[in-house]
Amino acid sequence: MRTTDGHLDATSRRLLREIDELQRLEVEKRRTARASDEFHELAAKVDNAARRVFDTAGAELIEAREDSPRQDEQDENHPGDWTDASRN
């Protein structure tokens, strides 16, 4: 299946959300005592969140290599034009 601008944009946005969640969890973990159960639970959550980021980044790489079947999307107007339809 070829990737449209919308698909790639959605994956990119998911990656950004996952990175934000990873950062939030890491900051929370840093505010807990290292020997506590809470620290270890948060460390596991950080690990899971990091794995999701890694998986999504890999999916985005694959999607980016499979150019859109639509000619109007293949003809790049300017860098980042694949994000024009979405909100930042």
- CB atoms inside a 10 Å sphere around CB 5: 19
pLDDT, position 59: 93
pLDDT, position 65: 80
From the first residue on, what is the mean pLDDT of each consecutive set of 10 residues in the chain (88 residues)? Answer: 81 96 98 97 98 96 77 67 64
Q: Which two tokens stand for residue 73?
A: 């999307």
pLDDT, position 1: 62
- Domain spans, the chain: 5-66
Residue with tokens 């809470």: 38
- What is the residue-averaged pLDDT of the chain? 87
Selection from 59, 88, 84, 62 nearest residue 5 by Cα: 84
CA-CA distance, 6 to 12, in Å (whole number)? 10
Judge contact between 48 and 26, C-beta under 8 A: no
pTM above 0.85, yes or no: no
pLDDT, position 74: 66
User: Which burial class, exposed, middle or buried, applies to 52 when counting CB atoms under 10 A from its CB (0-12, 13-18, 19+)?
Assistant: middle
